[in-house]
Amino acid sequence: MQSSSSRDLVVGVFVLLGLAAIAYLSVQVGGLSLGREGELQLFATFDDIGGLSPRAPVRISGVRVGQVESIDLDADLRARVAMNLATDLELSVDTAAAIRTAGLLGDQFVALEPGAEDEVLEAGESFSFTESATNLDKLIGAVVHGSGLAGDD
């Protein structure tokens, strides 16, 4: 009888460890942050954000430095993206923000390309240089219609 209860205890601990591992992986894959990544909130305005969504990563040279907090429309009906970044970042005022795609059809993220100015962006400021998402439908349409493949000989 003693071995049965000890076996039940081992199985119970094993199941709890498995559930904890699944919960951890779910949080990591979902991009949810257990704590705020930082209080450095910066903004960027784009003409087209493609499939960018809140909680999308913000990266510099492929390294995650923050995430997209929210996406709204500004007064000019352009997409205004709020990003929470690590507080220790010192980005120059000529840093560029671009929407990129991970792989050919992967998720979209914001890529920051640091500039060379000495003056740095402060919390609440906006990036001056932005590059919108590449729209594959428009790109394919331009190639098809521009190369004479659509039958306009």
- Enumerate the domain spans of the chain: 1-30, 40-142
Strands 40-46 and 79-85: antiparallel
Residue 27 pLDDT greater than 60, yes or no: yes
**pLDDT value, residue 17:** 93
Answer whether 75's CB lies under 8 Å from 24's CB: no
Q: Is the pTM of this model over 0.85?
A: no
Give the closest residue to 111 by CA, choosing from 122, 96, 121, 126: 96
Residue 137 pLDDT greater than 90, yes or no: no
